[in-house]
Structure 1
Amino acid sequence: MFDIIHHHGRPMTFDEMRGGEKQPAALERSARRALHGMVKAKALIALGDGGRAEPHRYFIHPLLIGFWKDETLQAALKADPGAKAAAAKDMAEMFSQTITTPGLAPGFCFAKGLRARERRARGER
């Protein structure tokens, strides 16, 4: 799927990726799981609301595009109307996981550390 998106050079819906052909249910389910796994792993980004009126369009993650310095993919991402908002939301989620605070180790996840501190205060491990 990653190669299909890269080859076409534009955001694509799941239906566009499968070529409009109906696949067996098990194969389609596996393909959707793989696609969602790539979004979770930050290889792809999901654009759009995901409903019937505006299905998710999938595209290569902006960090990868920037790393590759591929101007064609950068232009395609900029041309998509929902790409800027989706990229901003995804980047905020990525970088809010680790907050550097003076006195804490680099990469310390503040939310996890806070929950651990609360458990210790209650006498739990």
Structure 2
Amino acid sequence: MNAVSRSRAPSSLRPALPSGLLHLLATCLALAICSLTLPAAHAVALRAPDAKPADFPIEPQVLQQTTEDDQVRIDETRVGGATRKLTVQPKIKGMPAYEIATPTPGRPTAQDPKAGQRVWLNIGF
């Protein structure tokens, strides 16, 4: 006899399920799972294909602003609230226009050496 003996109930005491009943139980379980997930899938299918969440704008807001006085004209372009381009046109005769370099997006201003520096526009078309 083996060192480890297993105790099993005699086959006459174990309940026997017919294979047809097992198939029926499996089918009922599959239907129950489908009935739980079907309403969510149906709601997704009925949603309009071009519907987008209201929290996320389709495109960032672009704002072009011009400030002018008797000495200078400043054109500013903002995309999503961040300044992307800043052009200064002095009204003094002979002074060329220049840009002020904007910070690189995603980089702290203190670590961006070119941010706030003048960039002369030498090439004109």
Structure of greater relative contact order (alpha carbons < 8 Å, 6+ residues apart) = 1
Q: Give the TM-score of the pair, scaled to structure 2.
A: 0.22
Query: Which structure shows the higher strand fraction?
Result: 2
Q: Give the TM-score of the pair, scaled to structure 1.
A: 0.22
Q: Which has the larger radius of gyration?
A: 2
